[in-house]
C-alpha cells in the first residue's frame, strides 16, 4: 500500500478524537436512527459542543480556523463507519462556506456561530420536482416587493438535512425572465410564515438521513436575507458554480473510504467463512477479486488525495473534481456489489454493514450532479460538445 502523505500527527490525533466521538455518540444509535428515519437532534448539538461542526470557519465566527484536511478526516471516518445519517459534511462544508464566501458581514455574524454550535442545522435547496440536473429550470421565485423584501414561492425536493434544518439556502429566481442570470440565493429560516417542511422521503438507502420536501408559499423574505445582499442579486448561479469542485470532491472522499471499509469487512469475512471445508478466501476467484478491488481503491485514493491537495491550494478545477466524483462513486458501487457477492446470502441481510453500505452507495452516482452530468462537464473541458 502507498503510505499517505497528506496528514500531520495533529491531523491523526484529531482522527482518533473523532473516532472516540463516533464510538460514543453515533455508533450505538445509528441503527435506531435508520429505523426512525432521522438522527436525534442532539447529535448535532453534541458535535457543536465538541467543536466538530464548521471546523474550517474562522474563529471569529465560532469555527476553529482549521484547514480542510480536518473536514476530509471527518468525512473519511463517517464513510468508514457507514454513518450515512450524519449530515455534518453538507452543513459544515457546503452550507456554511456559502455564507462565509458570499454572505454580508451581518449574515456571517448572525448565522455562522449558530451553525458552528449546532444551534442551527443547515441545508441547501436547489433541486425541485421538475429541476434536478437542469438547475437553470428552477421554478421557485423570489420576487422583490415595494418594501425591498422578497416574496418566495415554490417547492424543493430531495433536500438533505431538510427535516431538521433551521436555515435553508434556497435557490430561487429573482428575475425569472433572465434564466441562470436571474438566480439568487435566499436565506430562509425555520418559522418564517409560509415555509413548511414536507414529509421525510423513504429511500433505498441513507435511511437515517432526513431527506425532505420543502414548500414555500408567499414567504416574506427580508431584504437582508438575500445572500450577499443587493450586490449578489441575480448572481447566485455563479456562486453555485464556484463551489462545485469542493462539493463534488467530498462525494469522492466518502466513496473511497466507504469502499475501503467494505474491502476490510469482506476480507475478515472470507477468511472466517468456510465453504466445502475451506475458507472462502482460499478460492482463487476470491483472492483475485479482492486483489482487483484493492488495486482500484488504492488507485482512487491516490487520485483523490492529489485532488485534496489541489483543493487546499484552491487549484482544483471543476472537470477534475467531476472525474473524481464520477469515477470514485462508480467504483464504490462496483466494490459494494462484488463484496455483497462474497458474503453470499448474508450480504443480503440488513443486519450486515455490507448490505447497508451497498444500499447507501447507489445514490452517490446520482446526487451532487449525476455521473452523466460529470461526463458532460469533463467532455466540455476537453473541447467536445456544447460550450
Ligand atoms: C438522497 C438524496 C439527497 C439529495 N440531497 C440534495 C440536497 O441536499 N439539495 C439539493 O438541492 N438536491 C439534493 N438532491 C437532488 C440531486 O442533486 C438530484 O437528484 C440530481 O441532481 C439529479 O436530478 P434529478 O433527480 O432531477 O434527475 P434528472 O435531472 O431528471 O435526471 C434523470 C436522468 O437523466 C440524465 N440526464 C439529465 N441531464 C442529462 C444530460 N444533459 N445528458 C445526459 N443525461 C442527462 C441523468 O443523468 C439521469 O440519469 C438529493 C438527491 C438524493 C437522491
Domains of the chain (ranges, CATH numbers): 9-120 (1.10.540.10), 123-234 (2.40.110.10), 238-381 (1.20.140.10)
Mean pLDDT, rounded, for 168-188: 97
Ligand 1: distance of its center to the CA of 370 in Å?
A: 6
Q: What are phi and psi of 128, to 5 degrees?
A: -130, 165
Nearest atom, ligand 1, residue 160 CA? 8
Read off the pLDDT band of 385 (50, 70, 90). Answer: confident
Catalytic annotation, pick one of 34, 76, 77, 247: 247
Ligand 1: distance of its center to the CA of 309 in Å?
A: 28
Q: Can 31 be counted among the known catalytic residues? A: no
Q: CA angle at residue 60 from 73 to 234, to 5 degrees?
A: 85
**Is 60 exceeded by the pLDDT of residue 387?**
no
Residue nearest to atom 44 of ligand 1 (CA): 372
Ligand 1: lining residues by beta carbon, under 6 Å? 124-127, 132-133, 158-160, 203, 206, 211, 363, 366-367, 369-370, 372-373, 376
In this prediction, residue 1 carries a pLDDT of 86
Cα 126 to Cα 212: distance, rounded to the nearest angstrom:
12
Mean pLDDT, rounded, for 372-387: 92
Residue nearest to atom 43 of ligand 1 (CA): 372
pLDDT tens digits, 268-295: 999 999 999 999 999 999 999 999 999 9
In this prediction, residue 220 carries a pLDDT of 98
Q: Give the rounded percent of residues in the chain with a pLDDT score beyond 70.
A: 99
Read off the pLDDT band of 198 (50, 70, 90). Answer: very high
301-304 — which CB contacts under 8 Å span 24+ positions?
301/2, 301/4, 301/256, 301/260, 302/2, 303/327, 303/328, 304/249, 304/252, 304/253, 304/256, 304/328
Ligand 1: distance of its center to the CA of 22 in Å?
A: 30
pLDDT tens digits, 48-80: 999 999 999 999 999 999 999 999 999 999 999
Q: How high does pLDDT run on average in the chain?
A: 97
In this prediction, residue 39 carries a pLDDT of 98
In this prediction, residue 78 carries a pLDDT of 98
**Is 70 exceeded by the pLDDT of residue 23?**
yes
- Ligand 1: which of 90, 124, 127, 375 to mutate, judged by most atoms within 8 Å of the beta carbon? 127
What SS3 state is found at 141? strand
Amino acid at each position: 500500500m502507498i503510505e499517505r502523505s497528506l496528514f500531520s500527527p495533529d491531523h491523526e490525533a484529531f482522527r482518533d478524537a473523532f473516532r472516540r466521538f463516533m464510538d460514543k455518540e453515533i455508533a450505538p444509535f445509528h441503527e435506531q436512527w435508520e429505523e426512525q428515519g432521522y438522527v436525534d437532534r442532539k447529535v448535532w448539538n453534541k458535535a457543536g459542543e465538541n467543536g466538530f461542526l464548521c471546523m474550517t470557519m474562522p474563529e471569529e465566527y465560532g469555527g476553529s480556523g482549521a484547514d480542510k484536511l480536518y473536514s476530509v478526516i471527518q468525512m473519511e471516518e463517517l464513510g468508514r463507519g457507514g454513518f450515512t445519517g450524519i449530515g455534518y459534511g453538507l452543513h459544515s462544508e457546503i452550507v456554511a462556506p456559502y455564507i462565509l464566501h458570499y454572505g454580508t458581514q451581518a449574515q456571517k455574524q448572525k448565522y455562522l456561530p449558530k451553525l458552528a454550535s449546532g444551534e442551527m442545522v443547515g441545508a441547501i435547496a436547489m433541486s425541485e420536482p421538475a429541476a434536478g440536473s437542469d438547475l437553470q429550470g428552477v421554478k421557485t421565485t423570489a420576487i422583490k416587493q415595494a418594501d425591498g423584501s422578497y416574496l418566495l414561492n415554490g417547492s424543493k425536493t430531495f433536500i438533505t438535512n431538510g427535516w431538521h434544518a433551521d436555515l435553508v439556502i434556497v435557490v430561487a429566481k429573482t428575475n425569472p425572465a433572465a434564466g441562470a442570470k436571474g438566480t439568487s440565493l435566499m436565506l430562509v429560516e425555520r418559522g418564517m410564515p409560509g415555509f413548511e417542511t414536507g414529509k421525510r422521503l423513504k429511500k433505498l438507502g441513507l435511511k437515517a438521513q432526513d431527506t425532505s420536501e420543502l414548500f414555500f408559499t408567499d414567504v416574506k423574505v427580508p431584504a437582508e436575507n438575500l445572500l450577499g445582499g443587493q450586490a449578489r442579486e441575480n448572481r447566485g448561479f455563479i456562486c453555485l458554480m464556484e463551489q462545485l469542485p469542493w462539493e463534488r470532491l467530498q462525494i469522492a472522499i466518502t466513496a473511497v473510504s466507504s469502499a475501503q471499509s467494505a474491502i476490510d469487512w469482506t476480507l475478515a469475512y472470507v477468511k472466517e467463512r468456510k465453504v466445502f471445508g475451506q475458507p472462502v478466501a482460499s478460492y482463487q476467484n476470491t483472492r483475485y477479486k479482492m486483489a482487483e478491488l484493492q488495486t482500484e481503491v488504492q488507485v482512487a485514493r491516490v487520485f483523490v488525495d492529489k485532488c485534496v491537495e489541489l483543493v487546499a491550494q484552491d487549484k482544483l478545477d471543476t472537470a477534475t473534481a467531476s472525474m473524481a466524483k464520477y469515477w470514485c462513486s462508480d467504483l464504490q458501487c462496483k466494490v459494494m456489489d462484488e463484496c455483497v457477492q462474497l458474503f453470499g446470502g448474508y450480504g443480503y441481510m440488513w443486519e450486515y454493514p455490507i448490505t447497508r453500505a451497498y444500499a447507501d452507495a447507489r445514490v452517490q452516482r446520482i446526487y451532487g450532479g449525476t455521473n452523466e452530468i460529470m461526463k458532460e462537464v469533463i467532455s466540455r473541458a476537453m473541447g467536445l460538445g456544447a460550450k
